[in-house]
A = this chain, B = another copy of it.
């Protein structure tokens, strides 16, 4: 989001409060603006590699980048690692030299700094009362050069993040979470070390789910549901969209939606997990902690969290039931 005119980002996987008032009122003036951001690709402990907005601040996933349709984002990528890498966006517009692929020699060699330009546009009228789609969507970015010409090594080690392109007038969230199903891990972590996302009862929470790697997955969130469309909300009573709480999340795909934390179900430590049984059993699960409206811990939540940390994430250990 925009805070003080600078490109604001949320440390993905943590969720940061936006500045609703200013952001909501300010968004028009930035339409069509060009913004610049410098991203540092850095090696991290545990053989990970991350993107960060300042030296020493790399995270997995990387920062959530946001634009409004019509905006341009100039991403200056600094490669502090010893391998070639790049940044390839989904959904937005870019020339071949910003493709982020070895096919176009569009990558950073070790130590190299390179700028990638991402543009976006609104829908445009076509014939037959139809419109060519604009850039709005819950997209993502990732390496396309480390390890293989498709960035398999970089993606496996954590070089990915969320890219959100909004339409003017879109409802802004209070918090944002990014969940990446990457082979058998979530944000390159396994339960019980997977992220615990937190919000207060009733807060508008925006989830961006991204798939990576070489396995198939399904994302399931307990006690919440969303429309399987661009916003996760219905445009009206005649919006035909499916309403779902479980969706395929396969390599290269992403989707996003907003929910009101605990709407109709109350606070608690709700699970999110891959619904592929052999995946959830071995650690592809995490918690969405919905606190009371005043931010206090709801009854029973700490016990559930402790239980989650105590679970053996191995089906064999439970084969005889509780």
* Residue ranges of A at the interface with B (Cβ–Cβ < 8 Å): 83-85, 90-91, 93-97, 99, 101-105, 107, 109, 119, 121, 123, 126-137, 139, 145-153, 155-156, 169-171, 211-214, 216, 218, 220, 222-223, 225-248, 250-255, 259-260, 263-266, 268-271, 273, 275-281, 285, 300, 304, 307-308, 311, 315, 318-322
Contact = CB atoms under 8 A, between A and B. Distances in A.
A321 B255 CA distance: 30
A129 to B, nearest CB: 7
Contact of A152 (B105, B149, B308, B315): B315
B229 A94 contact: no
A263 B132 contact: yes
Contact of A147 (B97, B242, B315): B315
Contacts of A170: 128
Contacts of A103: 269, 271, 304, 307-308, 311
Given A130-B231, A243-B136, A319 B268 contact: no
8 contacts: A96-B270, A102-B307, A104-B269, A132-B260, A213-B276, A234-B240, A240-B241, A251-B275
A133 B250 contact: no
The A interface is mostly helix, strand or loop, or mixed, namely loop
Given A95-B266, A218-B252, A229-B240, 19 more contacts: A83-B320, A90-B245, A91-B243, A93-B264, A128-B169, A128-B170, A131-B236, A132-B263, A134-B243, A137-B244, A147-B318, A147-B319, A148-B277, A152-B315, A214-B276, A216-B216, A216-B250, A229-B242, A251-B277
Contacts of A119: 264
A253 B243 CA distance: 11
A93 B265 contact: yes
B268 A218 contact: no
A246 B249 CA distance: 11
Given A129-B235, A233-B133, A277-B214, A322 B84 contact: yes
Contacts of A247: 253
Contact of A268 (B104, B231, B269, B285): B104
A223 B277 contact: no
A149 B311 contact: yes
Contacts of A223: 93-94, 99
B230 A133 contact: no
A276 B102 CA distance: 18
B244 A277 contact: no
A218 B217 CA distance: 12
Contacts of A231: 130, 240
